[in-house]
Structure 1
């Protein structure tokens, strides 16, 4: 959340002490600390990007500067089975999930980094060639999309 503060011009008061200028300095110092703390927190937050590179694969990249526990699960929703589970604490992680050799059906790619949760729904269709569709990565968006997080 962004907040902006504007200080009123100093009023000329008879008998004003240095406490007004000390208070002003304290307020400005507090605002400066809050601004840098917000930037530091933003740098420590995980960054998750997903990209559908071709008709059969989903690419995930995770920047995890705090090295929180990360867990990746690929679940077949059609058959209620877990195809893959992976956990690590790497500061940077990338994976290409290829759906070429899995049966047609609906799948969920679920990623948890610390307290953040991400989910991508994948539908695998079979024909002459396997194709996937990921509704969260629609063509109207840019090729590389940052996932939405929920807590």
Structure 2
């Protein structure tokens, strides 16, 4: 079932994030399906912490970007979605390659949304699971 209420595409997502934190980290949008968005972030000099592994905060940036995009594009035209809470469970470190995240809605309501984001390394191993709760705001 298609959940998007606004036009959405990889090109639109990429353009809307030009010159933002996700872009500076090298994040790339990869795919939009009927009920999911997929993006990835490189594990490189921009995104590693001093011990040579992907910084946990970068995983959270990927999660928040994916969940926020999902919420925005699944809201009716004129409505906005803003973050209320995010959590992340870091499961396996990544020291090179890419970490790819996919987000899917857990709940899409009139005033709140909940999105789950799963992240995997290039070997397909789960590196992080995150959940974001979004508030849906009426037009001003």
TM-score for both structures, normalised by structure 2: 0.30
* Larger radius of gyration between Structure 1 and Structure 2: 1
Structure with more relative contact order (C-alpha pairs < 8 Å, separation 6 or more): 2
TM-score for both structures, normalised by structure 1: 0.28
